[in-house]
């Protein structure tokens, strides 16, 4: 047996060893972001140094206003926000309605239909892309936000239905029964009993909808053509086309696209984590 | 309550209640049902139909039978894009999952301040793929990039990461390791879900760290690993943005991925029939792999409550 003292010493060495390993790994993962930030504050000439200088000299803060003047990032920002708001409202309403039915109402073929919902998560979206594009084109919706918003008013995405259902299952059924005895309709139970208890999952879905729309590249690329309709992701791609050798400006623009996500993450961390963890439950 | 006779009136009441419940159930899922028909089932069938036609949008579509598929299977570029994508999937996804597992195990340790490391490992996976792509073009810059600065610092020659056809795909895979955070968090949730009693029981039986990992941790983590694997493979088959922004499919078509080739056929050349045939071939491939994984999952995925024979 080890004495108490040597045991603590052993634990200390053990912990120390792991702190070193964990920190080294964290450093490797942090370097690209530090490099991004450092480049975004350099003069044009300083970006072309080998070996690179990590600390800009001087700090060129004006790279940021210059990048924003070069392309209309404020317009892209508001376009993205508008798409997020309208898409998210639709997704929340229709996904939570469907999830309420799947979690708390009994009807024939409920399980079969829910399996159908789950299986669409695994469907590669490419197989529906071309006809969907042609339908939107026929409707004259190309170069509008509608193709990015309207589909979410029809079920709100299978994954969101799954998340809502997962959460609704944790709410005791007795609440519904008590409300039903008081004469409440199912719609009333959904709106007055279940939704007010579901703020955490609503927040999770709002956060994820924001990230999705902020990051989505493929759909806006296909549907949005004129620059005044671009989202942040498409705008950044356009920026690269114009300033492909000015790495300091390009890194400033990229930082501007990453920063809001980091801010959101630090304010809404627990909704991120709960959303991702719930997605892991799909494996069970 | 024992078995009682239900009065006829009560029976009737219950039946109407159930009927109204079923009616509301269907009403509530109606938006999804419409969405499924308009945006999933309908377009799927339509794209199958379009794949049997020649159609350049501006000209009327012409039924050509299986001609698009014949053309596809004789198209070297198609096979090349399938090869490139398979490389990305079957080299990239297992490595990505392996590193995510290592990270999850590391940040599951019972150390003070471990949540700071969790955050640090997770944050890079938040970067939008467009910003990520632009950042990594700069990191992989042959003259002034961070990757070659590192290689030279440890005394090696710099590489033409994105300009060398042999290196472009591995470079994109290396870049993907930067965002293991999302998978790490899912696996971490799986690790947290393993009951402590199992470890305690294993410790009483004298199991060391290694056998606890092999006999307890890994088997109970297989559902989370399985889920990650399925979703990652489906996602990796549709890799697009990195190649579109960073390499434009080059050099020498070495990063011409399936979706990029399909995108060009559909939205640059407007060959809707050809692109639809490509979409259906990819759909069949992904479906086959997913079905295969579900079939093989019996052999290695362990669900709690399963009785081991």
pLDDT at residue B308 above 90?
A: no
- What distance in Å separates the CA atoms of residue B307 and residue B293, rounded to the nearest whole number? 21
Instruction: Using only the alpha carbons of chain A, give its radius of gyration.
Output: 25
Q: Please give the tally of structural domains in chain B.
A: 2
| B306 interfaces chain A, CB cutoff of 8 Å | no
Question: Would you place residue A15 in the very low, low, confident or very high pLDDT band (cuts 50, 70, 90)?
Answer: confident
- Can you list the domains of chain A with their CATH numbers? 4-65 (no CATH), 72-242 (1.10.3720.10)
In this structure, are B195 and B240 located in the same domain? yes
Shortest CA gap A196–chain B (Å): 18
In this structure, are B83 and B184 located in the same domain? yes
Work out the average pLDDT over B193-211: 82
Q: Would you tell me how many other CB atoms lie within 10 Å of the CB of residue A188?
A: 13
Query: Is A106–B25 a contact, with Cβ atoms under 8 angstroms apart?
Result: yes
Full 3-state SS string of chain A: CCCHHHHHHHHHHHHHHHHHHHHHHHHHHHHHHHHHHHHHCCCHHHHCCCCCCCCCCCCCCCHHHHHHHHCCHHHHHHHHHHHHHHHHHHHHHHHHHHHHHHHHCCCCCHHHHHHHHHHHHCCCCHHHHHHHHHHHHHCCCCCCCHHHHHHHHCCCCHHHHHHHHHHHCCCCCHHHHHHHHCCCCHHHHHHHHHHHHHHHHHHHHHHHHHHHHHHCCHHHHHHCCCHHHCCHHHHHHHHHHHCCCCHHHHHHHHHHHHHHHHHHHHHCHHHHHHHHHHHHHCCC
Q: Which of A101, A128, A222 sits opposite B44 (nearest CB)?
A: A128
CA distances from B288 to A119, A122, A282, A284, B291 (A): 14, 12, 20, 21, 5
CA distances from B134 to A31, A257, A277 (A): 15, 11, 29
Question: Would you place residue A284 in the very low, low, confident or very high pLDDT band (cuts 50, 70, 90)?
Answer: very low
Work out the average pLDDT over B145-164: 90
Question: Would you place residue B227 in the very low, low, confident or very high pLDDT band (cuts 50, 70, 90)?
Answer: confident
pLDDT tens digits along A218-237 = 999 999 989 899 999 999 88
Task: Tell me, yes or no, if the pTM score tops 0.95.
Answer: no
Q: In what helix (H) or strand (E) does residue B53 lie, and over which residues does it extend?
A: strand B53-54
Which one, of A58, A35, A61, lies nearest residue B138 by Cα?
Answer: A35
In this structure, are B28 and B131 located in the same domain? no
The answer to whether residue B61 sits within a structural domain is no
What chain A residue is nearest to B23 in terms of C-alpha separation? A107
Work out the average pLDDT over A187-216: 88
Whether the complex's predicted ipTM is more than 0.85 is answered with yes
The answer to whether residue B109 sits within a structural domain is yes
In this structure, are B37 and B95 located in the same domain? no
CATH code where residue B130 lies? 1.10.3720.10
What region does B114 belong to: left with phi over 0, alpha with psi -120 to 50, or beta? alpha
In this structure, are B17 and B131 located in the same domain? no
What chain B residue is nearest to A97 in terms of C-alpha separation? B28
pLDDT number for residue A276: 67
List CB contacts (< 8 A) between B31 and chain A: 94, 97-98, 153-156
Q: What is the DSSP letter of B161?
A: T
Domain extent at residue B17: 8-50
- What distance in Å separates the CA atoms of residue B200 and residue B195, rounded to the nearest whole number? 9
User: Of A22, A34, A126, A277, which to mutate for an interface test with B (greatest number of B Cβ within 10 Å)?
Assistant: A126
| B279 interfaces chain A, CB cutoff of 8 Å | yes
Shortest CA gap A96–chain B (Å): 9
The answer to whether residue B288 sits within a structural domain is yes
In this structure, are B24 and B88 located in the same domain? no
Query: Is B127–A47 a contact, with Cβ atoms under 8 angstroms apart?
Result: no
Q: Which of residues 206-225 of A touch B (CB under 8 A)?
A: 211, 214-215, 217-218, 222
pLDDT number for residue A279: 61
Dihedral sign (CA A49, A50, A56, A57): negative
Indicate the angle between helix axes A247-267 and A4-40, nearest 10 degrees. Answer: 130
Q: What are phi and psi of B7, to 5 degrees?
A: -60, 150
In this structure, are B80 and B44 located in the same domain? no
Structural contact between residues B287 and B203, judged by C-beta atoms closer than 8 angstroms = no
Query: Is B130–A49 a contact, with Cβ atoms under 8 angstroms apart?
Result: no
- What distance in Å separates the CA atoms of residue A278 and residue A168, rounded to the nearest whole number? 12
In this structure, are B76 and B23 located in the same domain? no
pLDDT tens digits along A24-78 = 999 999 999 999 999 999 888 888 887 888 888 888 898 898 888 888 888 998 9
Indicate the angle between helix axes B114-122 and B93-107, nearest 10 degrees. Answer: 160
Q: Which of A15, A124, A280 sits opposite B282 (nearest CB)?
A: A124
List CB contacts (< 8 A) between A33 and chain B: 123-124
In this structure, are B227 and B178 located in the same domain? yes
Does residue B63 sit in helix, strand or coil?
A: strand
In this structure, are B109 and B181 located in the same domain? yes
């Amino acid at each position: 047996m080890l004495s108490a003292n040597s045991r603590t010493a052993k634990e200390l060495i053990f912990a120390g060893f792991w702190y070193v390993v964990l920190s080294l790994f964290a450093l490797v993962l942090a370097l690209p972001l530090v490099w991004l930030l450092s480049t975004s504050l350099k003069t044009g000439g300083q970006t072309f140094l080998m070996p690179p200088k990590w600390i800009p000299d001087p700090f060129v803060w004006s790279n940021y206003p210059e990048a924003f003047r070069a392309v209309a990032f404020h317009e892209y920002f508001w376009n993205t926000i508008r798409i997020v708001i309208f898409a998210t409202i639709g997704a929340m309403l229709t996904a939570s309605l469907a999830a309420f039915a799947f979690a708390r109402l009994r009807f024939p073929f409920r399980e079969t239909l829910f399996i159908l919902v789950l299986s669409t998560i695994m469907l590669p979206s490419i197989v529906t892309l071309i006809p969907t594009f042609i339908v939107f084109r026929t409707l004259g919706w190309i170069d509008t936000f509608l193709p990015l918003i309207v589909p979410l008013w029809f079920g709100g995405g299978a994954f969101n239905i799954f998340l809502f259902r997962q959460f609704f299952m944790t709410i005791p059924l007795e609440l519904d029964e008590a409300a039903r005895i008081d004469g409440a309709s199912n719609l009333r139970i959904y709106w007055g009993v279940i939704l007010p208890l579901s703020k955490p999952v609503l927040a999770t879905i709002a956060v994820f909808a924001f990230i999705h729309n902020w990051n989505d590249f493929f759909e806006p690329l296909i549907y949005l053509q004129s620059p005044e309709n671009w989202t942040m992701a498409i705008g950044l791609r356009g920026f690269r086309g114009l300033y492909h050798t000015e790495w300091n400006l390009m890194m400033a623009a990229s930082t501007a696209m990453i920063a809001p996500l980091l801010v959101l993450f630090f304010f809404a961390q627990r909704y991120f984590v709960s959303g991702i963890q719930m997605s892991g439950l799909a494996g069970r | 309550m024992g078995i009682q006779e239900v009065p006829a009136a009560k029976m009737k009441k219950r039946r109407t209640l159930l009927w109204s419940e079923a009616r509301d159930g269907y009403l509530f899922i109606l938006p999804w049902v419409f969405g499924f028909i308009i945006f999933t089932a309908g377009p799927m069938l339509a794209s199958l139909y379009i794949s049997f036609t020649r159609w350049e949008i501006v000209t009327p579509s012409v039924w050509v039978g299986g001609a698009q598929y014949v053309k596809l299977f004789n198209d070297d570029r198609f096979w090349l894009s399938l090869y490139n994508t398979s490389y990305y999937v079957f080299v990239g996804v297992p490595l990505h999952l392996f590193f995510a597992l290592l990270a999850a195990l590391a940040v599951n340790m019972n150390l003070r301040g471990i949540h700071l490391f969790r955050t640090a490992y997770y944050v890079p996976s938040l970067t939008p793929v467009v910003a990520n792509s632009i950042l990594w073009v700069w990191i992989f810059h042959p003259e002034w990039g961070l990757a070659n600065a590192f290689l030279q610092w440890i005394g090696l020659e710099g590489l033409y990461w994105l300009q060398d056809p042999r290196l472009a795909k591995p470079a994109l895979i290396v870049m993907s390791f930067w965002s293991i955070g999302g998978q790490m968090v899912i696996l971490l949730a799986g690790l947290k879900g393993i009951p402590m009693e199992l470890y305690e029981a294993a410790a009483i039986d004298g199991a060391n760290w290694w056998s606890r990992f092999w006999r307890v941790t890994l088997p109970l983590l297989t559902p989370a690993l399985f889920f990650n694997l399925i979703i990652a493979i489906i996602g990796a088959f549709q890799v697009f943005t990195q190649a579109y922004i960073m390499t434009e499919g080059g050099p020498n078509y070495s990063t011409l991925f399936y979706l990029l080739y399909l995108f060009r056929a559909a939205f640059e050349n407007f060959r809707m029939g050809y692109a639809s045939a490509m979409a259906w071939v990819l759909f069949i491939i992904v479906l086959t792999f997913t079905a295969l994984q579900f079939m093989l999952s019996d052999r290695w995925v362990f669900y709690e409550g399963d009785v081991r024979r």
